[in-house]
Structure 1
Amino acid sequence: MLRSAAAVATTMSALAATSILGGPSAAEPFSAAPCALHRTTAHHSEGADTWNPAYVRPLGTRDAVLVFLSFPDAVPRTTPAQLTADHFPETGDFYSRASYGRFTLRPHPVNRWLRMPHPSTSYAMKRDWAAADRSAYLRDAFTVADKAVDFSRYDVVYLVADPDAPGVDSDATKVVNLETPVRLDGKDVRRVVTVFEQHPPDRLVLAHETGHVFDLPDLYHRPRDGKGDWDTHVGDWDLMGSQFGLSPDLFAWHKWRLGWLGPRQVACVRGTGPTRLTLEPLEAGPGVTVPGAAGVPAFGLGRGTKLAVVRTGADSALAFEARASAGNDESGCREGVLVYRVRARTESGDGPVRVIDTHPHSAACWENSVYPPLADAPLAAGESFTVPGDGVKVEVEERTASGAWTVSITPGVTG
């Protein structure tokens, strides 16, 4: 264990605001599929050919520690057990369903408050946190936590602040990536989730932040002046866009990147002629059933094709997947075939994924969608659409009795 504040301060001397610089030179080969975009130096690159070993790979069981921090200027009105229940089992269940049981996130709460040395107001917490204030907070948090936690046992670290302390700002919850890892108990801690959520917290906020620990990018659009709509890029589709989305399950592209889809579940569509295939609902898997065309539960789904990809350039592709109102998407607004564009060189937060609006003159679910113009983006049976600028046409022929969609994709002339 790191036994002194001085040691922690030395390790914390280099800190990046939200990202480490680039990717390491030693990438782990992942997919040799011809439609797998190459991973680039963009932060949280959507490249799917290699895995960045600087990030935790969410396969098998990963252990997470929840450290609860109180402050001298407030007496906690909640307990660590209550705050743990705010996020678990919901966060773990989300990832279990999203990964089809291939990944388990196992929480280990430290069931007592650990006192920080300074008042909460002294750390000046806010969304765009000043580097010096953030460094001071992390330095003190690691010093306090190191006396109670064996960090060598954990893959994910959550630092949970007393939500009722006067200086705590719920908008400051985020992942902090360390330019120089902190060495604790013989293990390099490269990133930490700083949790400042109110009690009860925003929906699925911890699942979103945990996605960054697994190298997933922000998919929302942040207006330069902080005003305007944040959800124009992907709308309700994918947790990394909005944790309030009606269909927050991760895109099939992300499930492919994370290792939750096998090679036979990804179809690379090539050539110029039509390719006919069947897309299984993204949500279907162990413990999740999806009604078929006749309303009959579709049992046995989970191993069919879930993603079709057309390369449109050296660093770009179009992705096609079927979405249903089931599993993580049980509150979904529309079902059908979703089309989106992926760019491997686009930075997190700048639109590396953008959903194609196949119904540009309509919207749906105004009462609860985060962005109604994209809530009806999927194509239904009998509909077709040609993607502007790429000349790729998709036709949704029918929905089968098993709950899958039969589609025809014609690449045409791609750029």
Structure 2
Amino acid sequence: MSVPKLRSTAAVFTTMSALAATSILTGPSAAGPFSPEPCALHRTEAHHSEGVDTWSPAYPHPAGALDAVLVFLSFPDAAPRTTPAELTADHFPATSRFYEQSSYGRFTLRPHPLGRWLRMPRPSTAYAMRRDWNAEDRAAYLRDAFAVADKEVDFSRYQVVYLVADPDAPGVDSDATKVVNLDTPLRADGTGIRRVVTVFEHHPPDRLVLAHETGHVFDLPDLYHRPADGKGDWDTHVGDWDLMGSQFGLAPDLLAWHKWRLGWLDPRQVVCVRGATPARLTLEPLAAGPGVPVRDTAGAPAFGLGHGVKLAVVRTGPDSALAFEARGAAGADRAVCRQGILVYRVRGGAPSGDGPVRVVDAHPRTEACWENSVYPPLADAPVFLGESFTVPGEDVRVAVEDRTASGAWTVSITPGVGD
């Protein structure tokens, strides 16, 4: 979403990311037919496109360390019942820990809370906060917030901005938490700010909500399905299997495709399967990194994983691909419902919220973990050990042959098998 221009001075966005729109498929690649490049979908004009061939310089790249400022906003119609320190603890270190773990230590998000309340000039009810926020009301909120914060904060020091509202103010709607994208960057301290995370969460907040919203700052799309009437199930596309689908998922680690996009996987950790010859691969559990224990199907911990292949891809069209990854009980996925090889479709031209990723259910007649899964029909979606599964409509078969002592999965992927 975007808002009208907040200040009259036009600006070129230069500070939040110094990256040029160059290929992210750099470094040594796997040799021969398994090189990942042929399976890399192209970035399109779709909002948060799942294309992986380039990185948009409009977004900060989550590599190394990025600094985030938390600005706490109170209102004349309410006296805060919480402190900035308490609200900071609602989200950190949980958010930083999620990204450090998911990136295998390649990215650190450093929070810098302001530490005191800043008073907004108008009552909270004056801004009419809600999920589908009126553009004029939203622009007024941002304009007032930056007017009061600019006196206290040097925005040139930060790549991520969180505006945290007093959760107990009468006009604050927790459903309005989101990332606001600015068509024209807002100028503050010589910095062009293109996107702002507006936080209206209850205290305590929803689980991992800030990690989800921060994913949008890094160009990740919404993977949930929003029913047209607002009623019905939101989790039919990916279920528990990615934070960008649901922050409440049992296995909320970011999909391997997203880790490829973000640069957290080396090229040798992505395999492009081409031709009709079966490719026999060893896939490491997605969440396994150096020193992260993986539990096998018997619950025994194993170590030593972290540098092997994480993602296998079959190109299915000019703008589509099938992805295969191993999901096991480790890291953010430690509460996973069923372990196995997760299969999903990716479309580079589908915008955020329009199903750019859809998990393929290898067990469409059953469901699992109904008591705590966000969408039980997909909780048992992976292909289990000893099973063979042909992806409907794609003529691609995956067989899960074995699981090693270290917890990795031996699989065979065969394109062009016929019906």
Q: Shorter-chain TM-score: what band?
A: over 0.9
CA drift of 1:413 comes to 6.2
* More off after superposition, 371-380 vs 27-36: 27-36
| One of 368, 388, 394 as aligned partner of 2:392 | 388
> In structure 2, what is the equivalent of residue 319 of structure 1?
323
The 1:220–1:295 alpha-carbon spacing in structure 2 relative to 1, beyond 3 Å, is: closer
Q: Is the 8 A contact 1:219 1:240 kept in 2?
A: yes
Which letter maps to 2:386?
A: G
Matched, 1:332 2:330: no
Between Structure 1 and Structure 2, how many residues are aligned?
397
Residue aligning to 2:40: 36
Which SS does the other structure have where 2:38 is aligned? coil
Of 159, 163, 170, the residue aligned with 2:163 is 159
Shift of 1:10: 2.5
- SS of the equivalent of 1:374 reads helix
* Structure 1 range deviating more: 178-187 or 26-35: 26-35
Cα offset, 1:29, TM superposition: 1.1
Which residue of the partner structure matches residue 238 of structure 1?
242
> Is 1:67 the counterpart of 2:65 in the alignment?
no
Could you say which residue in structure 2 is the equivalent of 1:16? none
1:349 aligns with 353
> TM-score of the superposition, structure 2-length normalised?
0.92
Shift of 1:214: 0.2
Structure 1 residues 157 and 12: alpha-carbon distance in aligned structure 2, compared to 1, 3 A threshold: farther
User: Does structure 2 retain, via aligned residues, the 8 Å contact 1:163–1:198?
Assistant: yes
Runs of 4+ in 1 over 3 A off after TM superposition: 292-296
Q: Tell me the residue number matched to 2:104.
A: 100
Shift of 1:12: 9.3
Q: Deviations over 1:278-316 (max 9, x none)?
A: 000001013411034665432221000000000000000
- Worse-superposed segment, 337-346 or 325-334: 325-334
Could you say what the CA RMSD is over the residues aligned between the two structures, in angstroms? Answer: 1.6
Distance 1:165 1:328 in 2: 33
Could you say which residue in structure 1 is the equivalent of 2:8?
10
Indicate yes or no: 2:285 matched with 1:291: no
Shift of 1:204: 0.3
| CA deviation string 1:243-302 (max 9, x = no partner) | 000000000000000000000100110111111000000010134110346654322210
Partner in structure 1 of residue 118 of structure 2: 114
Please tell me whether the aligned partners of residues 162 and 199 of structure 2 are also in contact (alpha carbons under 8 angstroms): yes
Q: TM-score, normalised to structure 1's length?
A: 0.93
Q: Deviations over 1:54-112 (max 9, x none)?
A: 00110000000000000000000000000000000000000000000000000000000
**Corresponding letter in the other structure for 1:72:** P
Q: Spell out, residue by residue over 1:321-366, the C-alpha distance to the aligned partner (whole angstroms, 9 max, x if none).
A: 0001111011111111000000000010000000000000000000
Q: Mean Cα displacement is larger for which, 58-67 or 280-289?
A: 280-289
Change (3 A) 1:8 1:346: closer
How does 1:8-407 map onto structure 2 within 5 Å?
9-10=7-8, 27-31=21-25, 33-292=37-296, 296-407=300-411
Shift of 1:208: 0.1
The 2-side partners of 1:175 and 1:8 are apart by 16
* Gapped regions of structure 2 (runs ≥ 5): 12-19, 26-35
For the structure 1 residues 400 and 386, does the alpha-carbon distance in structure 2 shift closer, same or farther, using more than 3 Å as the test? Answer: same
Q: Structure 1: where are the runs of 5+ without partners? A: 1-6, 14-25
Distance 1:229 1:315, change over 3 A: same
Q: Secondary structure at the match of 2:304?
A: coil
- CA positional deviation for 1:27: 2.1
Looking at structure 1, the residues matched to 202 and 9 of structure 2 have their Cα atoms a distance apart, in angstroms, of 30
1:59–1:104: 8 Å Cα contact kept in structure 2?
A: yes
User: Is the Cα contact below 8 Å between 1:211 and 1:240 reproduced in 2?
Assistant: yes
SS in 2 for 1:78: coil
The one-character-per-residue Cα deviations of 1:116-169 (angstroms, maximum 9, x if unpaired) are 000000000000000000000000001010000000000100000000000000
Contact 1:95 1:103 in 2 (8 A): yes
**CA contact 1:293–1:401 (8 Å) conserved in 2:** no
Question: In structure 2, what is the Cα distance between the partners aligned to 1:342 and 1:362?
Answer: 24
Equivalent residues of 2:397, 2:417 under 8 A apart: no
Q: Which whole-Å CA distance do the structure 1 matches of 2:305 and 2:394 have between them? A: 32
Render the CA deviation track for 1:172-211: whole Å, top value 9, x for unaligned: 0000000000111111111000000000000000000000
Q: Alignment partner of 2:79: what SS?
A: coil
Q: 1:34 Cα deviation (Å)?
A: 1.1
Other structure's SS at 1:28 match = coil
The AA in structure 2 aligned to 1:10 is: S
Q: 2: distance between equivalents of 1:218 and 1:74?
A: 33
Q: 1:187 to 1:9 in 2, by over 3 A?
A: closer
- 2:291–2:304: 8 Å Cα contact kept in structure 1? no
Tell me how far apart the structure 1 counterparts of residues 174 and 9 of structure 2 sit (CA, whole Å).
27
For the 8 Å contact 2:72–2:116, the answer to whether it is kept is yes
Match for 1:39: what amino acid?
Answer: R
Question: Distance in 2 between the 1:258 and 1:9 partners?
Answer: 32
Whole-Å separation in 1 of the counterparts to 2:152 and 2:246: 34
> For residue 18 of structure 1, what is the aligned residue in structure 2?
none
